[in-house]
Amino acid sequence: MQGNQFGLSALNRDAILRHAEEKHWDLIVIGGGITGAGILLDARLRGMDVLLVEQNDFASGTSSKSTKLIHGGLRYLKQLDFALVREVGRERSLLHCNAPHLVEPAPMMLPFFKKGSLGKTTAKLGLWLYETLTGVKMGERFKTYSALETLQMEPLLRKGELLGSAVYTEYQTDDARLTLSVLKTAVQEGAFALNYAGVERFIKENGKICGVNVNDTLSGKDFCMKASVVVNAAGPWVDAVREKDTAVAGKRLHLTKGVHITVNHTDFPIQRPVYFDSSDGRMIFAIPRGNYVYIGTTDTNYGGSHSNITLEKQDIAYLIQAWNSTFSGKEMHESDIVSGWAGLRPLIHQDGKKPSELSRKDEIWESGSGLISIAGGKLTGYRVMAEKVCNKVVERLKQSGTGAFRPCTTAKKVLLGGDFQGFNGWNEYAAVQYGEAKEIGASADLIAQWVKLFGRETEKIIDLAFTIWPEIADKSEVLTRALIRYLREHEMLLTPLDYYERRIAKLGFDIRWCYADFERNKNSWQEELAVNDEEFRLMEYAFLSALDALREGIHS
């Protein structure tokens, strides 16, 4: 398959909108998170003409607010959900193969305490069962350690009631980057996607949905887009989209909020990811990532605004208390927090269940007018969710007499930028690219960061930097400008907030860094976005307001 003629370029956005209105699509997908992106890729690889529309930015909802782990499903053993454990374990391995720069193994420590919810024997049995179900390879099997050995590996753990630990393998990722990589792969194959394009209403003929009326947030214009099938994969907004079709009846969403906080690694220097008990028996992660450590997540019922999800004092206090009761060294206080994030989990409601007890399984609903909605599920299982939805879409298209489509092939589809020789091939690639880019002032650390975010697409950014080098007077701006220009042309970057929160995934880790970097590169931003002073002031206000709101949520 060949990519579409417009790509995922912000420069071609108006042309994509016109094309989307002129064409009759096999499928329109509502929602630009990981589920929608997975459906877009699966559908396109089967041969469908498919379009995705997202009301905000890609990955701006749940798909940039997770714990950033490709879980093997250990926590689901508590719910005796063996099928889900087996499924996510398989999917984890596939993702590692198809995007090794974005999904890499990390040794996770599970400490045992005298009064913990998991005893040593129970944990060993659970880990054995977990690894048996998921087919964990020999080199990644769990090992157990004494209390002394555990403290040698992780000196910050409190000694008092420590009995020992197990170390097993989890996989780390960047959720927003994974979503964008899936989207870009789909577009490379010929799919189309638009951000800041919200569905206002459904278009119906004889009571059946045949399209959507979409509002372009940037211009305020409405566009009529026709399709044989429409899928609702809007995450926390699934029920809101369903209500545009008909009153929601039967099963519905149950939203829970998850909060993470970030601190400096120099202040809280844990050596590895740790999965530990909180005071109420829930399990919490503390994960080092570069210069930071993030701690999460909470799990509480949520009934507020979907678009204004904040970190609140009780969320922060809960995570700080969990840290301080498990780790020694410097005591953590609110003043130590440098950033964080809050997101929603769109789970399926079950009467009488606590938030942490709700199943993470996905479900598909079909309305009388033909709308297919999918909700629930996990980041790790997005590919399987997409396969289930696309199977239903194919059935629907066959019933209407639309041509034959190929079976699902996403299990073997390497994501854009992920074509490396071996799982650690990105390290060699980064060294080669640094050898090229150091001539224009790039550091080895910067290139390694780019390779982790963009994979083999990094060379396109470096090529752009060499291209614009002669025209940029201040050479210190060249690398930033090249990156912004690449993201404009290949990831539909439209605002500074898109950049700091999702494209380089920095806002949730360091508010001050984002503010300083933006101030330092203001001229580059305005010129690369090609906007006038008033338009830029509005973008700047939106960005700074988001930073202020996050800061106030943490330190109010």
Report pLDDT digits (tens) over 81-96: 777 778 878 898 899 9
Predicted pLDDT of residue 511: 98
Q: Do both 154 and 203 map to the same domain?
A: no
Mean pLDDT on 243-269:
93
Whether 204 maps to a domain, the answer reads yes
Q: How confident is the model at residue 2 (pLDDT cuts 50, 70, 90)?
A: low
CATH number at residue 144: 3.30.9.10
Predicted pLDDT of residue 137: 80
Predicted pLDDT of residue 424: 82
CATH number at residue 381: 3.50.50.60
- pLDDT of 364-409, one tens digit each? 999 999 999 999 888 999 999 999 999 999 999 999 888 789 999 9
Counted residue by residue, the chain has a size of: 556
How many angstroms separate the Cα of 407 from the Cα of each of 90, 404, 498?
A: 19, 10, 34
Helices 533-555 and 511-520 cross at an angle (nearest 10°) of 160
Q: Do both 488 and 444 map to the same domain?
A: yes
Tell me which of 79-88, 208-217, 408-417 is least confident: 79-88
Give just the sign of the alpha carbon dihedral 181, 184, 185, 186: positive
How many angstroms separate the Cα of 295 from the Cα of each of 203, 207, 261, 547?
A: 44, 48, 5, 20
Whether 418 maps to a domain, the answer reads no
* End-of-domain residue from the set 357, 375, 399: 357
Q: Do both 165 and 206 map to the same domain?
A: no
Mean pLDDT on 9-15:
97
Q: Do both 514 and 366 map to the same domain?
A: no
Whether 417 maps to a domain, the answer reads no
Q: How confident is the model at residue 72 (pLDDT cuts 50, 70, 90)?
A: low
**Structural contact between residues 546 and 501, judged by C-beta atoms closer than 8 angstroms:** yes
Q: Do both 262 and 340 map to the same domain?
A: yes
Predicted pLDDT of residue 241: 97
Report whether pLDDT(331) > 70. yes
- pLDDT of 476-504, one tens digit each? 999 999 999 999 999 999 999 999 999 99
Whether 69 maps to a domain, the answer reads no
Predicted pLDDT of residue 251: 82
**Structural contact between residues 35 and 374, judged by C-beta atoms closer than 8 angstroms:** yes
Whether 491 maps to a domain, the answer reads yes
- pLDDT of 123-137, one tens digit each? 888 888 888 877 788
Report whether pLDDT(352) > 70. no
Q: Do both 188 and 143 map to the same domain?
A: no
Running DSSP on this structure, what letter comes out for residue 55?
S
DSSP string, 204-269: EETTEEEEEEEEETTT--EEEEEEEEEEE--GGGHHHHHHHHS---SS-EEEEEEEEEEEETTTS-
Report whether pLDDT(161) > 90. no
Report whether pLDDT(116) > 80. no
Whether 2 maps to a domain, the answer reads no
- pLDDT of 278-306, one tens digit each? 888 888 999 999 999 999 999 999 988 88
Q: How confident is the model at residue 78 (pLDDT cuts 50, 70, 90)?
A: low
Which residues 6+ apart lie within 8 Å of 353 measured at CB?
A: none
Report whether pLDDT(353) > 70. no
- pLDDT of 425-450, one tens digit each? 899 999 999 999 999 999 999 999 99
Whether 331 maps to a domain, the answer reads yes
* Domain of residue 82, residue span: 75-173+253-357
Among 186-200, 308-322, 357-371, top mean pLDDT goes to 186-200
Residue type, 460: K
**Structural contact between residues 253 and 348, judged by C-beta atoms closer than 8 angstroms:** yes
Terminal Cα-to-Cα distance of the chain (whole angstroms):
52
Count up the domains in the chain and report the number. 3
Report the 10 Å Cβ neighbour count for 444: 14
* End-of-domain residue from the set 357, 377, 392: 357
Angle (CA) 142 148 149, round 5°: 35
Q: Do both 262 and 393 map to the same domain?
A: no
Q: Do both 157 and 263 map to the same domain?
A: yes
Q: Do both 238 and 385 map to the same domain?
A: yes
Predicted pLDDT of residue 556: 75
Report whether pLDDT(248) > 80. yes
Q: How confident is the model at residue 356 (pLDDT cuts 50, 70, 90)?
A: low
CATH number at residue 469: 1.10.8.870
Q: Do both 31 and 98 map to the same domain?
A: no
Say which residue the tokens 């490396």 belong to: 420
Report whether pLDDT(534) > 60. yes
Q: What is the dihedral of CA 528, 13, 35, 385, to 10 degrees?
A: -140
Tell me the pTM. Answer: 0.95
Whether 166 maps to a domain, the answer reads yes
Report whether pLDDT(423) > 90. no
Predicted pLDDT of residue 1: 63
**Average pLDDT score, the chain:** 93
Q: Do both 167 and 184 map to the same domain?
A: no
Among 123-137, 224-238, 343-357, top mean pLDDT goes to 224-238
Q: Do both 100 and 143 map to the same domain?
A: yes
Mean pLDDT on 45-58:
98
Q: How confident is the model at residue 249 (pLDDT cuts 50, 70, 90)?
A: confident
Which residues 6+ apart lie within 8 Å of 198 measured at CB?
A: 53, 55, 56, 214, 215, 217
Report whether pLDDT(142) > 80. yes
